[in-house]
Amino acid sequence: MTLRIDISGLPSERLRFAASPLAELTAMLHVLAEPGHHPQLADWAGDVWAGLRPELAERLREADFLWRSSQADFLVPARPKPTLAEELDDVDRIDDETYVTAALVTTCGSNRVHFGAPSPLTDATARGRALDLAQARGARQEAFAERLLVDPGAVRARVRHTLAQCAEAFFDAAWAGVAVQLATDLRLKNDLLKRQGIGAALASVSGAVTLAPDGDCIIVDKLQDKATAAHGTGVTFIPSVFGRPHLVAVHAPGWQPVVQYPVAEPSPSEPVPLETVTLRLEALAHPVRLRLLRTLARGPHTTRELAHAWELSPPEVSRHLAVLRRAGLLTARRHGRYVRYTLNLPDLVALGGDLLAAVLR
């Protein structure tokens, strides 16, 4: 499953790498709302919550559906500016229809295609559907959606004020702390784009981001099947320190594609492709293969030894071993006339983490 961004005919200069204060603030707010996704930042999140004024803490909880499960599209800007205030000014310029639609998507937990024409701001049926979806998410989501639909201007002003207050409370200090890391990453990406082209620049973003063989499409390995196009607008890539392990993508119709990616760690581990994770889960979903793994976990075995141990025919064992090898869970080594199979324990141990990384990506 992938997100595909059509870039056919797009000149390389339309791929832009830039830092965004607002996008990084949004990543920080997500950490505060979901610290379990970011165990390495748990101490930071705890310190921030402990230092927040009660009024600001309550405001952040009031609006956290804008960044908890997914990020509202207007919080990940396609044209980043140097300061948070400038980017918030750009958000203020978005019309109410666009703002409300983006906010309802995250508040109601719905697919972006569910909020098109007619607008829930003007159509009673669309409004009722939006409120029903919000109600299913909880009382706070329902109350937020109601206020947004009744008086979008007031809600927008309140959200802006809340985000602006975050600057003094914790953002300014955190942003200064990651500025060098972001600048270093951007220099690397822009140098690769200039000297080696789009493919090399994308490869340095993440193992989950690749250029299609024909060069006409950016492929993002995420747990969804979506497609968008960057014709005439380009694609913006925004590095993030607080966003790890998430790979956030703006791809709704009418929005310029944006990808917020985690900056490389000193010793990065490439993400395992979703296809590989799926193959491994499917390989483990058969009781006979689990029995074979039980034996292989105790040491290398031949096909005949496995067949004897479990009272199976050698051809049947061979078929199951082929599935496990295709999933990368076994290694075969020849010793004279015998082929012994060895369980790849590190890959099996890492499967839970690989699955979680694919889901969170």
Pair 359, 224: CB distance under 8 Å:
no
Decide: helix, strand or coil at residue 229: strand
Pairing relationship of beta strands 258-262 and 235-240 according to DSSP bridges: parallel
Where in the chain is CATH 1.10.10.10? 274-360
pLDDT given for residue 294 in this prediction: 83
Task: Find residue 260's DSSP bridge partners.
Answer: 238, 248
Amino acid at 120: P
pLDDT given for residue 113 in this prediction: 45
Report cis status (omega within 30 of 0) of the bond before 245.
yes
For the beta sheet containing 338-343, the strands, ordered from the edge strand earlier in sequence to the opposite edge, are 301-302, 338-343, 330-335
Q: Show the tokens assigned to 307.
A: 């067949």
Distances (CA, A) of 250 to 49, 193, 277: 28, 21, 24
Q: What is the pTM of this model?
A: 0.75
Could you list the pLDDT tens digit for every one of the 361 residues in the chain? 688 999 988 887 889 999 999 999 999 999 999 888 888 899 999 999 999 999 999 999 989 889 988 899 999 999 999 999 999 999 999 999 999 988 887 655 545 545 556 788 888 888 888 888 888 778 888 888 899 999 999 999 999 999 999 999 999 999 999 999 999 999 999 999 998 999 999 999 988 899 999 989 999 987 777 888 888 789 999 999 999 888 899 888 888 999 999 997 654 456 778 888 888 888 888 999 988 988 888 788 999 889 988 889 999 999 999 999 999 899 898 888 889 898 888 888 778 777 777 766 6
Amino acid at 306: L
Q: State the CATH class of domain 274-360.
A: mainly alpha
pLDDT given for residue 2 in this prediction: 84
pLDDT given for residue 277 in this prediction: 85
How far is Cα 198 from Cα 305, in angstroms, rounded to an integer? 50
Any alpha helices (H) in the chain, and if so which ranges? Answer: 21-33, 42-51, 54-62, 84-92, 96-108, 124-137, 139-150, 152-166, 172-196, 198-205, 274-283, 287-296, 303-310, 314-326, 345-349, 351-360
